[in-house]
Amino acid sequence: MHLNVNDETATLRSVILGTAALNGPTPRVEEAYDPKSRFHIEQGSYPLEADMVRELEDFAAALLKHGVEVFRPEVIENCNQIFSRDIGFVVKDCFVRANILPDREREIEAIAHVLKHIDASKILTPPQEVHLEGGDVMPHHDYLFVGYYKGADYPKTITARTNVAAVEWLQSTFTTKQVKAFELRKSNTDPFTNALHLDCCFQPVGDRYAIIHEEGFLYREDADFLTELFGEENLFKISSQEMYDMTSNIFSISPTVVISDHHFVRLNAWLRERGITVETISFREIAKQEGLLRCTTLPLSRGPE
């Protein structure tokens, strides 16, 4: 299997898409990984398995419509396997196994049937002290954008998924990339101020645009860096409510085609005005777990065949 990912928007060739089959019962409040899931557990509005299965199948159909090769994890009973992005990611021609929350280690085993087709020398496993999830890592041509958190409360902050050691490891591993790290704003209790991953507050789209929630970055200069890189006129800025709704977490099929949630009326209109085709599906139930389209995907190859 040929791996190739150097950015977020080149034509998608193959991808691993998560599954909600046999997802298990609604978690207990103390089992929630993020404040948005916790809220819906407490309110009795946590998504039902059948609804999440339907949303993911609609996503799979949209991917197949555009000629994308779609792999799915083997189903593990009573295991949440929706968010494939958390368990690994590809940079250039290397697959990186993420160091994820201990309770979720079984998820990587469920894609062994895909990994066996990858050259073993191209599968990288970070050291144990490196905490790293795919939602925090974005290849962008010469850059490798990384979201992380280094507060003194890191060990108690369940929403902090990528640490300083991860930034340093990525710098030493991908030496041809310029690693640009952004410290994200975290909250275990408030989903309106919690940037769970980098893709919850930022994502490139098209050939020169990006979606951004500036308050998701702990330091203003980091948001300013992206404004200067992309250009003020090329940024779609989202509010705290739109970040809560996961508006930055759409998914690119190519520089001219994206899959988005039909709920994102303002964003979808803005993209269409710029010549980008927007395929819309509903992901309102999966969004209740503080993840959306990008979170459920693990691209393996983008770009020319």
CA 112 to CA 96: how far, in whole Å? 13
pLDDT average, residue stretch 21-41: 92
pTM higher than 0.85, yes or no?
yes
CA 22 to CA 65: how far, in whole Å? 26
Q: How many residues are there in the chain?
A: 305
**What are the start-end ranges of the H helices in 150-296?**
164-173, 220-230, 240-244, 265-273
The contacts of residue 168 (CB under 8 Å, 6+ apart) are none
The contacts of residue 242 (CB under 8 Å, 6+ apart) are 213, 248, 264, 266, 267
All domains of the chain, ordered by start, with CATH?
12-302 (3.75.10.10)
77-81, 191-195, 201-205, 214-218: least confidently modelled range: 77-81
Q: What is the pLDDT of residues 139-150, one digit of tens each?
A: 999 999 999 999
Q: What is the pLDDT of residues 211-258, one digit of tens each?
A: 999 999 999 999 999 999 999 999 999 999 999 999 999 999 999 999
CA 96 to CA 134: how far, in whole Å? 9
Q: What is the pLDDT of residues 63-111, one digit of tens each?
A: 999 999 999 999 999 999 999 999 999 999 999 999 876 667 789 999 9
pLDDT score at 3: 97
What is the percent of the chain where pLDDT is above 70?
Answer: 99
